[in-house]
Structure 1
Amino acid sequence: MRRVCLALPTDRGCAATIAAVAEEAAHAAAHFEVEVHLLVLDTSPGPAFAENAAAVAALPTTPRVHVHHLDEPRQRDFLRRVIRRAGAAPDPELLLDLMLPDAVSYGACTNRVFLVAAALGCDSVHRRDSDSAYQVLDGRKVFPVHHELLSLGRRAAEAAADVTRSELQPQDAEKPVVLVGGSFVGELSVDIGEIRELDPATYHDVVGLWAPPVWSEEEKRELVEASFTGGGTEPFRADESVLGTPDIWRVDMCNIGLDRRVYEQLPLPPATETIGSDYFLLHVVLDSGLPGVVHNRHIVNYYTPERRTGPGFTAYQLRFVKFLLSMLYLHPVYGEMTALGGDLLDERHHVRTAPVLDSVRRSAAWDRTENVRRLDVLDRCYRHLGGKYAEFADHLAPRRARLLDEAQSDAERFALLIGVWADLIAAARAERPLPAEVPVR
């Protein structure tokens, strides 16, 4: 029976989300011939972890659903075992830090999910987030996993029978569907909506920094209008799903299923304190020509209160700034992957690691001038907004040199991780089942 990993990485108390994701796991097991491994990957501090542990303990026993709740020490122990078995890293402690850093890392937490899924023998990963919820129709939650399990891993030609519309190109019919995703409804995925309300022109200047500098003003304007809006605000009424080249602008990492043929070939950038660091594989799927399904079972996005006041505001805005700086090193890679197209795949339709690794290594030496300009624009824009934004500009100013260094270091570390990823995946699969001290129910 096919094994799948429904994953919820979290660093906060989220009892309600755990209960809801467990319902989604039960739905998957009831409607598909799968064994669901519900993985709560938890780095929460003590009280929040206790809250989550109580929520896990209260979950009902469900046939073919196995629950794993891994705290930070158990994750670290598992990673040490995998790194030791892989034996490929010249600096095991550095590699451990890339996989389980002290700071927030959206890429690293998802990379840990990928390794645990490999250890569990899973064929796919289905990721959710702790600050999201499900839509409801006629009193029932709308679960994205339904679309994910209908299509993931199947020949695209076969999957066409279970979508509402197929835009599949004939040359892609024999390729596997490796991505199924939806987006979100509600607030912007990035907490910068207040900037748009305060000054739309400044919002355009800030968000436009995401674009490659060679883009035209019209292209940047279209990017700004589409950015972070997800599925809009319309509630779910009926299923819509499209098979073909996936529209990655309508896929969010809180609402995605990925086939192991993608994430076992390449990891995500392990950058710390950087939003958007977990979206790299969406570009890999798009640029390589692998088929995907995009559906409208959007998840409800909401913000945790700490993002908007005091230290929480400063921390979140810094993550946004680091996201913009990361583009200096990611845009060249995206461009080269687009140019390679189908040549990114081998004869089995697996992603070829070597050209991506070469591109990431070369991008790490990119000239920093554009990032200096980005910081200049951000300083001007935040000071123009005034209030807490001007205070953030004061916080940012003395950190400019460090931020420039960190952005380059993040690119270099991503290359390092790509270089050992195949060994880590193989070691994780050899580690299965997970160590006995990991609670499995």
Structure 2
Amino acid sequence: MRRVCLTLPTDRACGATIRAVAEEAGYGARSFGVEVHLLVLDSSGAEVLAEHREVVASLPTVAGVVVHHFDEDDQRTFLREVIARSGIPAPDHVLDLMLPDRVSYGACTNRAFLIAEALGCTSVHRRDSDSRYQYLDGEPVFPLHHELTALGRRAADMTGLVSRSRLDPACADRPVALVGGSFVGEMSVDVEEIRRLDPDVYEDVVGLSIPSGYPEIWRRNLIAESFRGAGTAPHTGDRTTLMSVSPMRVDMCNIALDREVYGRVPLPPATDTIGSDYFLIHLVHDARLPGVLHNRHIVNFHTGERRSDAGFLAYQLRFAKFLLSAPHFNAVYAAMKEAGDALLDTEGHVRASTVAGFVRDSTRVDRSENAGRLAVLDRSYRTLGGRYATAAGVLVSVREQLLDEARQDMEEFALLTDAWEALTAASRAHHRPELGPDLFHEPVRGIA
């Protein structure tokens, strides 16, 4: 039976989301006859973790659904064994990259990738804790429907299963590697506030993420589309497009990837950096692997913490690191775009060593470019005043650290990419059929 991993990484209270994603898992098992492994990767504090354990324990048992709720101790136990089995150099450093003591959007998803390998899954389907499903005619609209319909199928066999095709016929024999949608509702709360306070400052700040040399009309369009998702229109019916999916059209709260992609290249493990988990979307696009774009968009919302002063400052740091990562990632994306089909070997597999080389090359980006970005950010935030001026002061105080980390993050991404195929192979070897669905010798917390 086909096994798939529906994962929800979290570090905050999200009992309602756990219940909703469990409902989506049940839908997938019933409708497609697959075994859905619902994987909750929990980095919450003790009180919230206890609440989540109660929520997971209360979930109804559903045929074809296996629930795993792993706290960080569970995840560390798994990672230590897999890393030791892989035989890779610098095992302690790799463990730190996989389970850092700071927020890392890429690292939490990388852990899901390795656990999915150990569970024998063929795909990973990711949701986020600050999202809800849309409803149509009183029923939730689950993205899993399109993900399970298309993922792994030969693109040419999708005729009649999608609304339209914009795929290059030369790619028709390749399997669908990515299925995704976006979000509707609130755009990023802090970025939206900048736009509302001063549209010119907004253009200056968001424009720092756009590669240099773009024609002005393209640059303005990219700025206008950034951070906005799919708008606010409600779901009224399915629309699906077979295509090379643009990274601007999908969100990591609403995405599924085939293991042929994540089994060969990880996500960047950068800490405190928004957008760092979008790398594989660019890789799939630039390698001309087929994807399906759908409109079962997830509803985005922001927790109270995101609106607090502490949440504001935390986001501004992550946003600044995103802007400083841009010249490095843009260099990699440009190299991957130029490589195109050469990113794949003769059997259609992604060449991880080629990707690692591009990442390593990006560390040579001139540091002065990022120093200029920080200067623009400082000037812009002081123009806005108030808590933005406070954030500017905080960013100045860690200026050198930020500049160092922008390069170091790419060096560590290259290192992890070099080790990744050994880690995924060790994860697959970790699977023990005699233990059933569990990854550990002792029963995991949750439902089996």
2:62 aligns with: 62
Contact 1:189/1:230, CA 8 A, preserved across alignment: no
1:53 aligns with: 53
Separation in structure 1 between the aligned mates of residue 270 and residue 142 of structure 2, nearest angstrom = 30
Deviation, structure 1 residue 162: 0.8
Offset from partner CA, 1:131-175 (integer Å, 9 cap, x none):
000001111100000000000000001122211111222211110
1:157 aligns with: 156
User: CA, structure 1 residues 96+273, in 2 after alignment: closer, same or farther (shift >3 Å)?
Assistant: same
**3-state secondary structure, aligned to 1:361:** helix
1:72 maps onto 2:72 in alignment: yes
1:14 maps onto 2:14 in alignment: yes
1:405 maps onto 2:404 in alignment: yes
1:265 aligns with: 264
Separation in structure 1 between the aligned mates of residue 189 and residue 250 of structure 2, nearest angstrom = 14
Contact 2:189/2:302, CA 8 A, preserved across alignment: no
Deviation, structure 1 residue 190: 6.3
1:315 aligns with: 314
**3-state secondary structure, aligned to 2:160:** helix
Structure 2 spans left out of the alignment, 5+ residues: 433-438
1:183 aligns with: 182
Deviation, structure 1 residue 355: 1.2
Contact 2:33/2:64, CA 8 A, preserved across alignment: no
1:427 aligns with: 426
Separation in structure 2 between the aligned mates of residue 271 and residue 385 of structure 1, nearest angstrom = 28
Separation in structure 1 between the aligned mates of residue 126 and residue 185 of structure 2, nearest angstrom = 19
Separation in structure 2 between the aligned mates of residue 430 and residue 205 of structure 1, nearest angstrom = 49
Deviation, structure 1 residue 307: 1.9
2:239 aligns with: 240
1:139 maps onto 2:138 in alignment: yes
**3-state secondary structure, aligned to 2:257:** strand
Output the amino acid matched with 1:304: T
Separation in structure 1 between the aligned mates of residue 204 and residue 161 of structure 2, nearest angstrom = 42
Output the amino acid matched with 1:69: H
Offset from partner CA, 1:370-407 (integer Å, 9 cap, x none):
10110000000000001000111111112111100011
**3-state secondary structure, aligned to 1:147:** helix
User: CA, structure 1 residues 151+348, in 2 after alignment: closer, same or farther (shift >3 Å)?
Assistant: same
Q: How does 1:295-310 map to 2 (within 5 A)?
A: 295-310=294-309
Separation in structure 1 between the aligned mates of residue 298 and residue 7 of structure 2, nearest angstrom = 15
Contact 1:190/1:228, CA 8 A, preserved across alignment: no
Deviation, structure 1 residue 329: 1.1
2:285 aligns with: 286
Separation in structure 2 between the aligned mates of residue 419 and residue 220 of structure 1, nearest angstrom = 34
2:209 aligns with: 210
Deviation, structure 1 residue 281: 0.2
Contact 2:5/2:38, CA 8 A, preserved across alignment: yes
Deviation, structure 1 residue 111: 0.2
**3-state secondary structure, aligned to 1:243:** strand
Separation in structure 2 between the aligned mates of residue 252 and residue 288 of structure 1, nearest angstrom = 19
Deviation, structure 1 residue 213: 2.1
Measured on the aligned residues, the alpha-carbon RMSD in Å equals 1.0
Output the amino acid matched with 1:391: T
1:44 aligns with: 44
Separation in structure 2 between the aligned mates of residue 311 and residue 107 of structure 1, nearest angstrom = 22
Offset from partner CA, 1:277-319 (integer Å, 9 cap, x none):
1000000000000000000000000111222322211111110
Deviation, structure 1 residue 220: 1.8
2:378 aligns with: 379
TM-score in terms of structure 1 length: 0.98
1:326 aligns with: 325
User: CA, structure 1 residues 286+189, in 2 after alignment: closer, same or farther (shift >3 Å)?
Assistant: farther
Output the amino acid matched with 1:21: V
Output the amino acid matched with 1:416: L
Separation in structure 1 between the aligned mates of residue 106 and residue 228 of structure 2, nearest angstrom = 21
Deviation, structure 1 residue 348: 2.2
Contact 2:13/2:44, CA 8 A, preserved across alignment: yes
Separation in structure 2 between the aligned mates of residue 24 and residue 81 of structure 1, nearest angstrom = 31
**3-state secondary structure, aligned to 2:265:** coil
Offset from partner CA, 1:182-227 (integer Å, 9 cap, x none):
0000011464100000011100000000011222332221111010
Contact 1:189/1:301, CA 8 A, preserved across alignment: no
Separation in structure 1 between the aligned mates of residue 50 and residue 163 of structure 2, nearest angstrom = 43
Separation in structure 2 between the aligned mates of residue 107 and residue 133 of structure 1, nearest angstrom = 21
Q: Percent identity?
A: 59
Separation in structure 2 between the aligned mates of residue 130 and residue 158 of structure 1, nearest angstrom = 34
Contact 2:131/2:299, CA 8 A, preserved across alignment: yes
Contact 1:230/1:250, CA 8 A, preserved across alignment: yes
Separation in structure 1 between the aligned mates of residue 237 and residue 20 of structure 2, nearest angstrom = 21
1:436 aligns with: 441
Output the amino acid matched with 1:52: H
Output the amino acid matched with 2:43: T
Output the amino acid matched with 1:326: S
**3-state secondary structure, aligned to 1:232:** coil
2:84 aligns with: 84
User: CA, structure 1 residues 116+323, in 2 after alignment: closer, same or farther (shift >3 Å)?
Assistant: same
1:25 maps onto 2:34 in alignment: no
Deviation, structure 1 residue 332: 0.8
Q: Select between 364-373 and 319-328 the one with higher mean Cα deviation.
A: 364-373
Separation in structure 1 between the aligned mates of residue 133 and residue 369 of structure 2, nearest angstrom = 40
